[in-house]
A and B are shown apart, each in its own frame.
Chain A
């Protein structure tokens, strides 16, 4: 079955960077897009980024342009999300997810990022 297993929670200072990983299994890694979606406390999901795992091509939400980088390692079926210049408003649960050409079909378990001085 499809599994998306994310790295553990992180605590970072404002201004720092964080890199979160998501290891995919149970399907052909290159057959689906991968996304990062975050959810701040008490808020709805917010889409951040997408990667085509075959080509490595990415697209980022305008809000995060210049601060977020999504990469993948096809040898380990893992995607990464790096977010820089962290501020307190980046405190959220970060999810990886997969889709085809339509909706998100599977979600990872989530990674809690806390940004605090």
Chain B
């Protein structure tokens, strides 16, 4: 069963860029992951999948400011031109034999 590790918090200034990291546990570095955004008091929203190759596939309506990438076991979510509405919790998800695993989430603050 894979384990996903995320930093608990991140912050960046309005209009700048931020890169969030989700790290796959040993032996699972090729896994595909997904990023979900959860704004305060709302349900999560699917943002994108990031494949082991580093390519990413975004959900419908996700702004171009959001992109994905990878390096080894790390999967990244980059948000450019940060807006106040990007202040949210960001969770990564992966799956194995139909079971699902989530990271603990990164709380992003826009300064």
* Chain B neighbourhood of A24, CB < 8 A: none
- The distance from the CB of A96 to the nearest CB of chain B, in whole angstroms, is 10
Whether the pair B44, A45 counts as a contact (CB closer than 8 A) is yes
- The distance from the CB of A45 to the nearest CB of chain B, in whole angstroms, is 4
- The distance from the CB of B94 to the nearest CB of chain A, in whole angstroms, is 8
Say whether, besides A103-B32, A108-B43, A110-B43, A45 and B102 are in contact (CB < 8 Å): yes
Q: A76 at interface (Cβ–Cβ under 8 A)?
A: no
Q: Is the interface of A mostly helix, strand, loop or mixed?
A: strand
Closest to B105 in A: A44
- The distance from the CB of A98 to the nearest CB of chain B, in whole angstroms, is 10
- Contact count band on B: 20 to 34
Whether the pair B98, A103 counts as a contact (CB closer than 8 A) is no
* Chain A neighbourhood of B104, CB < 8 A: 43-44
* Chain A neighbourhood of B100, CB < 8 A: 35, 37, 47, 50, 104
Q: Which of A43, A50, A105 contacts B59 (CB 8 A)?
A: A105
Q: Mark B5-21, 1 if CB is under 8 A from A, else 0.
A: 00000000000000000
Which residues of B are at the interface with A, using a C-beta cutoff of 8 A? Answer: 32-34, 36, 43-46, 49, 59, 89, 91, 93, 95, 98-105
